[in-house]
Chain A
Amino acid sequence: MVDRVSKTFETADASVEAIREVSLDMREHEFVTLIGPSGCGKSTLLRIIGGLIDPTTGRVELRGRSPHEAQRTKDIGFVFQQPALLPWRTVAGNIELPFELNKGAGTDRLCSTEEILALVGLAQFAKAHPYQLSGGMQQRVAIARALIFDPALLLMDEPFGALDEITRAGMRYELLRIWGDTRKTVLFVTHSIPEAIVLSDRVVVMSPRPGEIREIIDIKLPRPRNEEIESAPEFVRIADHLRHLLKA
């Protein structure tokens, strides 16, 4: 739950208001996408929710606790625009990493490392090093690393932003499949309209800086979804509407 959160960055000679009075409620097992023009503060909002930065005003609660408490109980799984893997560890070693950190938080585990590798389609790469994998594969390792400790909330910051268009289009269905199996609560930042519609239960549209919520759109397209959805009339209608909102 996000309640009237604002963030102003103070630099030496200026202050920049990144987001203003953003409020958002999320339900369990819901997939929500934040979409908006670049620089609208969507990544900032995600980092505030994940407890990586503090809001200037307003408050964030996850199951009744602050983001910092949620970090301590390992209830936040982060996936960034870059895989951010440890290059000196194998794929399996990277996925096991969360269990070696903050050990006091208990040992929730979604499934075995072998199972999660199979889930993200990398079963035969457990012993490979990140540099031996393509960008898309590395990002799947990052997703597995964020899921393995069974966090309450999965935060994804343009996870496919650094991938080429073809890989990117495939990855969104890959992610849908993984999400279908785990049903995590996901907050996903993107600036790709098709990505937002295909993945989400709800799309939150943000305005240019200072970021405010312009509209929240329910996506009622039936699940499970596949590539065909992108030519459905309902999809095209929502895409047009989003394009219009983002232009204005």
Chain B
Amino acid sequence: MSAPATAATRTVPSPRQYARRQSRLRSMAPAVFGLVSFFGLWQLLVMITNTPAFIVPAPTVVAKRLWEELPDYAYEFSFTLAAAGIGLVIGTVVGIIGAVLMTNWRPLEKSLFPLAVVLKLVPFVAIAPLLRIWLGYELQPKIVLATLITFFPVLVNCISGLRSTDPLTLEFFRSVGSSRWEILTRLRWMTTLPYLYAALKVNVNLALAGAIVGELFSSKNGIGMVINETALNLDIPAMFAAVMFLAITGVSLTLFMNWSERRVLVWHESVRTSGGR
């Protein structure tokens, strides 16, 4: 049973917390081993075959280049992150509102859901050039792309979530004369949260992908623009460095989402049964 840690237990880990930390470290060992061997093998192969850096740079070369370019990449990435973030927020809000409306009004679901599916099935990469023509080279086309990609998972998951309310709990709400609004905000919304989180975890990386695709096609700024430019100059180590930068930010964002999910959904089975991982 994991009672919330008090200030005292946080500064001095209890034996049990210590043991848990130990076991967590131990469970991470295989993953660390896998990563280290991957980069080690890469380094080794590049050295043995004497591959020039303009074809495949060694990890050490990439890391060094990334270190040099870090301030520049971080600056450019802020544009990517802004576009992805705004797109994600819009996509999420539209998805939630759509799900609430559709679950409350059947005709709306029947007429709009197929449209949403069609929208979902259009490969978003295909509309990027069009968005450039319409919206230019600033943030807007990237925001639109990120929105279009993220809204569907939210819509689908929230519809499932809103429908997954426990029937007996719903009967209790009705038996004390709750309004539809009270049932929505105090019951359905809360049962939807785990579903919404599942969609958000996928969407964080989808939104980034959308923004980057937008930047590859048209942008004055952003990490996608960096990749495009380094490709034009055949600066392969810089390309690898940019990709590695994206890998690191992707992992960080995913870890952040998992952490915040554990915070928000302490009560939910998916969090409780995963043993704090």
Q: Report yes or no: A52 in contact with B171, Cβ–Cβ below 8 A.
A: yes
Q: Is the CB of B177 within 8 A of A84?
A: no
CB pair A80–B168 under 8 Å, yes or no, is yes
Using A87-B267, A132-B1 as known contacts, say yes or no to A51 and B175 having CB atoms under 8 A apart. Answer: yes
A84 touches B175 (CB 8 A): no
Q: Check if A78 is an interface residue, CB within 8 A of chain B.
A: yes
Say whether B268 contacts A78, CB under 8 Å: no
* Cross-chain contact B186 with A84 (CB below 8 angstroms): no
- Contact: B178 with A101, CB < 8 Å? yes
Q: How far is the CA of A98 from the CA of B190 in the complex (A)?
A: 17
How far does the Cβ of B3 sit from chain A's closest Cβ, in whole Å?
9
Question: Which of A71, A129, A132, A145 is the one whose CB lies under 8 Å from B174?
Answer: A71
By a CB distance below 8 angstroms, the chain A residues around B177 are 71-74, 101-102, 105
A187 smallest CB distance to B (angstroms): 13
Task: Chain B residues near A88: list those with CB within 8 A.
Answer: 190, 267-268
Q: What is the chain B residue whose CB lies nearest that of A104?
A: B177
Q: Give the complex CA separation of A145 and B177 in angstroms.
A: 15
Main secondary structure of the interface of A (DSSP, over half): loop
Q: How far is it, in angstroms, between the C-alpha of A76 and the C-alpha of B271 when the chains are bound?
A: 35
CA–CA, A170 and B250, complex, Å:
54
Pick from A82, A85, A87, A102: contact of B176, CB below 8 A: A102
**Quick one: CB contact mask for B154-189 with A, threshold 8 Å, 1 for yes?**
000000000000101101111111110010001100
Q: How far is the CA of A47 from the CA of B167 in the complex (A)?
A: 13
8 Å CB interface, B214-269 against A: 266-268
Residue B20 at the chain A interface, CB threshold 8 Å? no
In the complex, the chain B residue whose C-beta lies closest to that of A98 is B176
Q: How many residues of A contact B (CB 8 A)?
A: 31
B172 and A84 contact, CB distance less than 8 A: yes
At the interface, yes or no: A131 with Cβ under 8 Å from chain B?
A: yes
| Complex: A85 Cα to B187 Cα, angstroms | 10
Residues of A close to B187: CB separation below 8 A: 86
1/0 per residue, CB under 8 A from A, across B22-57: the answer is 000000000000000000000000000000000000
Is there a chain B Cβ closer than 8 Å to A185's Cβ? no
Query: Could you tell me the distance between the alpha carbons of A102 and B1 in the complex, rounded to whole angstroms?
Result: 34
A50 at the interface (CB under 8 A from B): yes
Give the residues in chain B near A86, CB-CB below 8 Å. 169, 186-187, 190
- In the complex, A5 Cα to B178 Cα: how many Å? 25
Contacts of B172 in A (CB 8 A): 78, 80, 84, 145
Chain B residues with CB under 8 A of A155: 175
Other-chain residue from A74, A80, A102, A105 in contact with B171 (beta carbon distance below 8 A): A80
SS class, residues of chain B in contact with chain A: helix
B168 and A84 contacting across the interface, CB-CB below 8 Å: yes
Given contacts A88-B267, A105-B177, contact A81 B186 (CB under 8 A): no
Task: Provide the residues of chain B in CB contact with A145, threshold 8 Å.
Answer: 172
Measured CB to CB, the nearest residue on chain B to A72 is B177
Measured between alpha carbons, how far is A98 from B177 in the docked complex, in Å? Answer: 10
Given contacts A86-B169, A129-B267, A132-B1, contact A76 B175 (CB under 8 A): yes
Question: What residues of chain A lie closer than 8 Å to B21, measured between beta carbons?
Answer: none
A129 to B1, CA, bound (A): 10
Contact status A78-B171, CB under 8 Å: yes
Please give the distance in Å from B267's CB to the nearest CB on chain A: 4
| Binary B-proximity of A117-141 (CB < 8 A = 1, otherwise 0) | 0000000000001011000000000
Expressed in whole angstroms, the Cα–Cα distance for A88 and B192 within the complex equals 12
Q: Does B272 contact A (CB under 8 A)?
A: yes
The docked-state distance in angstroms from the alpha carbon of A48 to that of B175 is 11
Is residue A149 contacting chain B, with contact meaning CB distance below 8 A? yes
Chain B nearest CB from A105 CB (Å) reads: 6
Q: Counting CB contacts under 8 A, is A181 at the interface?
A: no
State whether A76 and B176 are in contact (beta carbons under 8 Å apart), knowing that A88-B267, A101-B186, A131-B267 are contacts in the complex.
yes
Does A52 lie within 8 Å of B267, measured CB to CB?
no
B86 to chain A, nearest CB (A): 29
Asked if B176 contacts A74 (CB within 8 A), the reply is: yes
Cross-chain contact of A82 among B168, B178, B179, B266 (Cβ < 8 A): B168
Chain B neighbourhood of A78, CB < 8 A:
171-172, 175
Chain B hits for A71, CB < 8 A: 174-177
**Cβ–Cβ < 8 Å partners of B267 in chain A:** 87-88, 129, 131
Taking a contact as CB atoms under 8 Å apart, the answer to whether A52 and B168 are in contact is: no
Q: Is A13 an interface residue (CB 8 A)?
A: no
- CB proximity of B189 to chain A, nearest CB, Å: 11
Q: Which B residues touch A149, using CB under 8 A? A: 176
Provide the residues of chain B in CB contact with A87, threshold 8 Å.
267-268
Q: Can you give 11 A-B contacts (C-beta < 8 A)?
A: A51-B175, A52-B174, A71-B174, A71-B176, A74-B177, A80-B168, A82-B166, A84-B169, A86-B186, A87-B267, A102-B182
Sorted nearest first, the 10 A-B pairs with minimum C-beta distance are A84-B168, A102-B177, A71-B177, A78-B175, A84-B169, A88-B267, A101-B178, A72-B177, A80-B168, A87-B267
